[in-house]
A and B are shown apart, each in its own frame.
Chain A
Amino acid sequence: MMAESTTALPVIAGEERASALTVEHVLYTVILLIAFGVRFLALAAQPLAPFEAAQAWPAWLAATGGPVANAPSPQSALLYGAQSWLFFIAGGNDLLARLAPALLGVALVGLPWFWRTWIGRVPALVVAAIFALDPWLSAVGRTADGTGLALFFGLLALTALWQWRLQSDVPLGQRSWLRWERTLAVSTALLLASGVQAWSFLPVLLFFFLCFVWPLSARDRETGLRATSLIWFGVALVLGVSGLLARPEAVSAVGASLTGWLAQFSGGAGVGWPALRLVVDQPLLAIFGPLGLIGLFAKRRSGASLRLPLFLSLWLGWGIVLAALAGESPFLLPMIGLPLAIAAACAVGEFASFSMGDVGWLELVVLLAVAVVLLGSGVIWLATLVENSSYDTRLLATAAILLLLTLTMWIAFGFWAGWPVAAKVAGLFFATVLFLVTVRSNWQLNQGGAMMLPSGFFATTTLPEVRLLVSDINTLSIARRGDPHEAEVQVVTTGNTAGAPDPVLGWYLRDMRNLRWTRAPETELPAGSMDQSVLGSAHRPLIVAPLGLEGDRALAGYLGSDYGVTSRWNPVLLPALPEQTENSANGLPAAELQRLRDQQAWTQATRPRLKWLLYRTVQQPPAVQNVTLWATP
Chain B
Amino acid sequence: MTHHVSSLQQGLDQVLANPPEQTAQAKTSGLLDRPVTSFLRMDWEVAIWIAIFVIGAVARFVMLDVRAMSHDESLHSLYSYYLYANGNYDHNPMMHGPFRYHVTAFLYFLFGASDFTARMGPALFGLGVIGMVYLLRVYIGRLGAIMAGIMVTISPTLLFHSRYIRDDIFMAFFTLVWIYGAFRYLDTRRMRYLVVMVAGMAFGFATMENHFIHGAIIGSFFAGLALWQVVGHRWLAGVAAPLLIAGGVWWVLHEQQQDLYGMIALAAGVAIALVPLVLGLRGRWHELRNTDAADLAVIMLTLVLPFTAAFLHVFTGGDPTVFTNATDYTNQSMIVRLTIFVAACVLASIGIGAYWFWRREDRVAAAVLPHGRDSEGGVAEAGVGVGRWRPGIAHWALLMGFFWLVQVLFFTTFFTNTVQGLATGVVGSLGYWLAQQGVKRGNQPVYYYALIGWLYEFLPAFLSLCGIATILNNLSRRAGDLPWQPVVDADLPPASRSVDLHARPASDSGSEKSQGERLALHRVYFVVFMVWWTVAAWLGYSVAGEKMPWLLTHMALPMCVLGGWWLGNMLRHIDWRAAWRNRTWALVFAVPALLILLLVMLVATSANTGIEANPARRILQWLLILAATGAVLFFGAFGVVRGGFKQGLRLLAVGLVGVLFVLTVRTSFALNFINYDMATEFLVYAHAGPDVKRALAEIDTISERTVGDRNIVVAYDDESSWPMSWYMREYPNARFYGENPSPEAMAAPVVIVGPKNRPKVEPYMARDYVKRTYRLVWWPEMEYFNLTPDRIWGALTDPAQRDRLFNIIAFRKYRDPADLTKWRDLAQWPFRHEFDMYVRRDLAAQIWDLNVVPLASQVISNIPVIAPEQMRTIDATQVYNADYGGMLLAAPRAIAVGPNQDRVIADTGNHRIVVLDATGNYLRSFGSFCNLTDQTKTPCLDPDGDGPLTPGDGQFYEPWGVAVDAQGNIYVADTWNGRIQVFDAQGKFLRKWGAFAVAQGDAGDPNALFGPRGLTIDLDGNLVVADTGNKRIVRYRPSGESIDQVGGGGVIAGRFEEPTDVSVDPTDGSLLVADAWNGRVQRFGSDLQFQSEFAVPGWLGRDIFQKPYLAVAADGVIYTTDPATSQVVAFERDGKVKLAFGGTGAALNQMGVPNGIAVDLAGSSLLVADASNNRVLVFPEQGN
Contacts and interface: CB of A to CB of B under 8 A. Distances in A.
In this complex, the interface size class of chain B, counting residues with CB under 8 Å from chain A, is 35 or more
A448 interface: yes
A387 B85 contact: yes
Contacts of B13: 2, 5-6, 9
A575 interface: no
B30 interface: yes
B495 interface: no
Given A7-B33, A23-B32, A443-B112, A349 B8 contact: no
Contacts of A373: 409, 414-415
Given A380-B416, A443-B112, A451-B708, A20 B36 contact: yes
Report whether over half of chain A's contact residues are helix, strand or loop; otherwise say mixed.
helix
A550 interface: no
B41 interface: no
B1183 interface: no
Given A22-B33, A384-B86, A7 B732 contact: no
A222 interface: no
A119 B732 contact: no
B110 A122 contact: no
Interface stretch (A77-85, A200-208, A225-233, A303-311): A303-311
Interface stretch (B15-23, B674-682, B1038-1046): B15-23
Given A443-B112, A615-B85, A119 B18 contact: no
A447 interface: yes
A369 B16 CA distance: 39
Contacts of B5: 2, 6
A22 B29 CA distance: 11
A121 B36 contact: no
Interface in B295-310: none
Given A18-B33, A27-B32, A382-B87, A9 B112 contact: no
Contact of A122 (B16, B25, B709): B25
17 contacts: A8-B25, A21-B36, A24-B32, A117-B19, A122-B25, A122-B29, A171-B7, A353-B23, A353-B25, A377-B416, A384-B86, A384-B87, A386-B87, A436-B110, A451-B711, A452-B711, A621-B711
Nearest to B706: A562
B83 interface: yes
Interface in A93-148: 117-123, 125
A447 B111 CA distance: 8
B44 interface: no
B609 interface: no
Nearest to A4: B26
A24 B86 CA distance: 41
A192 B709 CA distance: 40
A380 B87 contact: yes
Contacts of A451: 708-711
Given A4-B26, A383-B86, A346 B20 contact: yes
B28 A353 contact: yes
Interface string A252-288: 0000000000000000000000000000000000000
Nearest to A123: B21
A409 B387 CA distance: 38
A10 B111 CA distance: 35
Contacts of B7: 171, 174
Interface string A1-39: 011111111001011001011111111000000000000
A166 B16 CA distance: 10
A376 B710 CA distance: 32
A403 to B, nearest CB: 14
Interface of B: 1-2, 4-9, 11-37, 39, 83-89, 102, 109-112, 405, 409, 413-416, 704-705, 708-711, 732
Interface string A440-470: 1001100110111000000000011100100
Contacts of B37: 20-21
A63 interface: no
B25 A624 contact: no
Contacts of A15: 6, 8-9
Contacts of A27: 32
Nearest to B2: A2
A245 interface: no
Contacts of A412: none
A478 interface: no
Given A169-B12, A169-B14, 13 more contacts: A9-B9, A22-B36, A24-B33, A118-B19, A120-B22, A121-B25, A121-B28, A121-B32, A166-B12, A169-B11, A299-B18, A451-B708, A561-B705
B14 A349 contact: no
B909 to A, nearest CB: 28
Interface string A142-169: 0000000000000000000000001011
Contacts of A178: none
Contacts of B110: 436, 439-440, 443
A5 B21 contact: no
Nearest to B412: A377
B1 A384 contact: no
A523 interface: no
Contacts of B87: 379-387
Highest count of chain B CB atoms <10 Å: which of A354, A377, A382, A386: A377
Interface residues of A, number: 80
B8 A303 contact: no
A25 B504 CA distance: 49
Contacts of B25: 8, 120-122, 349, 352-353
A119 B15 contact: no
Contacts of B16: 5, 9, 117
A117 B12 contact: yes
Contacts of A174: 7-8
Nearest to A168: B15
Contacts of B708: 451, 463, 465, 564, 621, 624
Nearest to B849: A475
B18 A303 contact: yes
A398 to B, nearest CB: 8
Contacts of B11: 169-171
Contacts of B705: 468, 561
A308 B36 contact: no
A120 B21 contact: yes
A302 interface: yes
Contacts of B416: 377, 380-381, 384
A27 B31 CA distance: 11
A2 B87 CA distance: 53
Contacts of A487: none
Interface string A419-454: 000000000000000001001100110011011100
Given A355-B27, A384-B87, A443-B111, A14 B36 contact: no
A488 interface: no
Contacts of B23: 299, 302, 350, 353
A296 interface: yes
B32 A299 contact: no
A119 B20 contact: yes
Given A117-B12, A346-B20, A443-B112, A468 B29 contact: no
A76 to B, nearest CB: 31
A411 B659 CA distance: 64
B109 to A, nearest CB: 6
A624 B86 CA distance: 29
A18 B35 CA distance: 9
Contacts of A24: 32-33
B33 A23 contact: yes
Given A6-B4, A15-B6, A624-B708, A122 B21 contact: yes
A465 B704 contact: yes
Contacts of A383: 83-88
A22 B28 CA distance: 13
A385 B28 CA distance: 41
Given A380-B416, A464-B704, A465-B708, A6 B9 contact: yes
Contacts of B111: 440, 443, 447
The 8 closest A-B pairs by CB, nearest first: A120-B21, A383-B87, A20-B35, A384-B87, A304-B18, A451-B709, A377-B414, A353-B24
